[in-house]
Amino acid sequence: MNLKRLIRTPLEKIYIKRLEKRLASFKQPKHIAVILDGNRRWAALQGGPTSRGHRVGAGKIEELLDWCEKHNVKVVTLWLLSTDNLQRSDSEVIPLLGIIENVAKELASQKKWKLRALGHLPLLPERTRQVLVGVEHDTEMIDGITVNLAVGYGGRRELLDAVKSLVDELESRQSSDIANAITLEAIESNLYTSGQPDPDLVIRTSGEQRLSGFLMWQSAHSEFWFCDAYWPDFRYIDFLRALRDYGLRQRRYGA
C-alpha cells in the first residue's frame, strides 16, 4: 500500500473527528443542493470512457445522502442532467439516461428517502419519465430525507414553466386581472420545488464557480460553496468542510 496513504488516512480520521465535533456547535443547513460536476473530466483523466465517470459519480450519491442524514439535512437536491446536457450526442446522453434510471431505482429500493423528479419531464424519453414518475409514487409515503432528482432541469425552463402554469391556472378561473395576479408568491407556488424550503447551501464540484442556471429563483439567498474535486472524488471530509464554512458565515439574505 502507498506509504503516503498509510500516513494520511489516520490523520484524516483525526481531522474528521475534529470537524464533526466543531460542527456540533454550528447551525447547519436543512436543504443542500449539489451540482454533481466533473464526471466527464474525471473519466478523461482516468483514460476511460465518459460513461465510467457517470457510473462512478452515480455511486457517490448514496454516500452523500448518508452523510446528509447523519447531519440532519432534510432536503437534498441533486442536479443530474441539465436541459443543455440533452443537446449532447446520443452516444453520451443515452448511456447517461440509463445510469440515471438505475440510480433512481436503486435509491427507491433502499426505502429510506422520498424521491421527487425536478425538471421539464416532456423533454425526456418515455422510459426515463416512467422511471422517475414511478420512484416518486413508490417513495411518497416514506418519512425520510426528500431527495430531488433534477433531470432535464434548466433554471430558465423552470421559470418559464412556472409562469405558463400560473397563467393557465388564472385563465381557467377566468381571472379578470391576470397581470396583478402574477405575484412573487404565485410564481413560487408553481416552481418545481413548490412546498419545499429554498436551499440554504449550494455545493458545486469540479472547480467551476458558477451556478449555470441551477435553482435560479430558489438560490437567491443561498450560500455557495465551490470544491475543486471532481464529483467522483468528492469525500466526506469535503462535505464536512462545506458544512463548516456554511456554519461560519453570517447569512445576510441579500442585504
Q: Can you say whether residue 72 is alpha, beta or left, with left for phi > 0 and alpha for psi between -120 and 50 degrees?
A: left
Residue 1, pLDDT > 50, answer no
CA distance 167 to 35: 30
Task: Give the residue-averaged pLDDT of 62-86.
Answer: 97
Confidence label for 5 from pLDDT (cuts 50, 70 and 90)? low
pLDDT reported for residue 9: 78
| Residue 114 belongs to some domain of the structure | yes
Residue 4, pLDDT > 70, answer no
Q: CA 55, 56, 57: angle at the middle one, nearest 5?
A: 90
Helix/strand/coil (H/E/C) assignment for every residue in 106-140: HHHHHCCCEEEEECCHHHCCHHHHHHHHHHHHHHC
From the candidates 2, 37, 228, 245, which is the catalytic residue? 37
Residue with grid cell 446528509, as numbered in its chain = 68
| Residue 171 belongs to some domain of the structure | no
Q: Which domain holds residue 94?
A: 26-154+199-248
Supply the mean pLDDT for the chain: 93
pLDDT in tens, 92-128: 999 999 999 999 999 999 999 999 999 999 999 999 9
Confidence label for 179 from pLDDT (cuts 50, 70 and 90)? confident
Q: Mark whether 102 is an active-site residue.
A: no
CA distance 235 to 213: 25
Grid coordinates belonging to 153: 432541469
pLDDT reported for residue 234: 97
| Residue 138 belongs to some domain of the structure | yes
208 or 179: which leads in pLDDT:
208
| Residue 168 belongs to some domain of the structure | no
| Residue 191 belongs to some domain of the structure | no
CA distance 169 to 181: 11
Task: Return the DSSP state at 198.
Answer: P
Quote the percentage of the chain above a pLDDT of 70: 95
Mutual angle of helices 90-110 and 50-59, in 10-degree steps: 20
CA distance 22 to 85: 39
| Residue 169 belongs to some domain of the structure | no
Cβ(115)–Cβ(80) below 8 Å: no
pLDDT in tens, 31-49: 999 999 999 999 999 998 9
| Residue 21 belongs to some domain of the structure | no
Residue with grid cell 464526471, as numbered in its chain = 39
The pTM score is: 0.92
Q: What is the DSSP string of 53-86?
A: HHHHHHHTHHHHHHHHHHTT--EEEEEEEETTGG
Three-state secondary structure call for residue 202: strand
Q: What is the CATH number of the domain that holds 72?
A: 3.40.1180.10
Three-state secondary structure call for residue 194: coil
Q: How far is CA 211 from the centre of its chain?
A: 12
Closest CA to 156 of 192, 196, 115: 192
Task: Give the residue-averaged pLDDT of 136-161.
Answer: 97
Q: What share of residues in the chain are helix, strand, coil (percent, to 5)? A: 55, 15, 35
Q: Mark whether 37 is an active-site residue.
A: yes
Residue 164, pLDDT > 60, answer yes
From the candidates 85, 161, 233, 238, which is the catalytic residue? 85
| Residue 5 belongs to some domain of the structure | no
Q: Identify the bridge partners of residue 202 per DSSP, sorted by sequence position.
A: 33, 224
Number of domains comprising the chain: 1
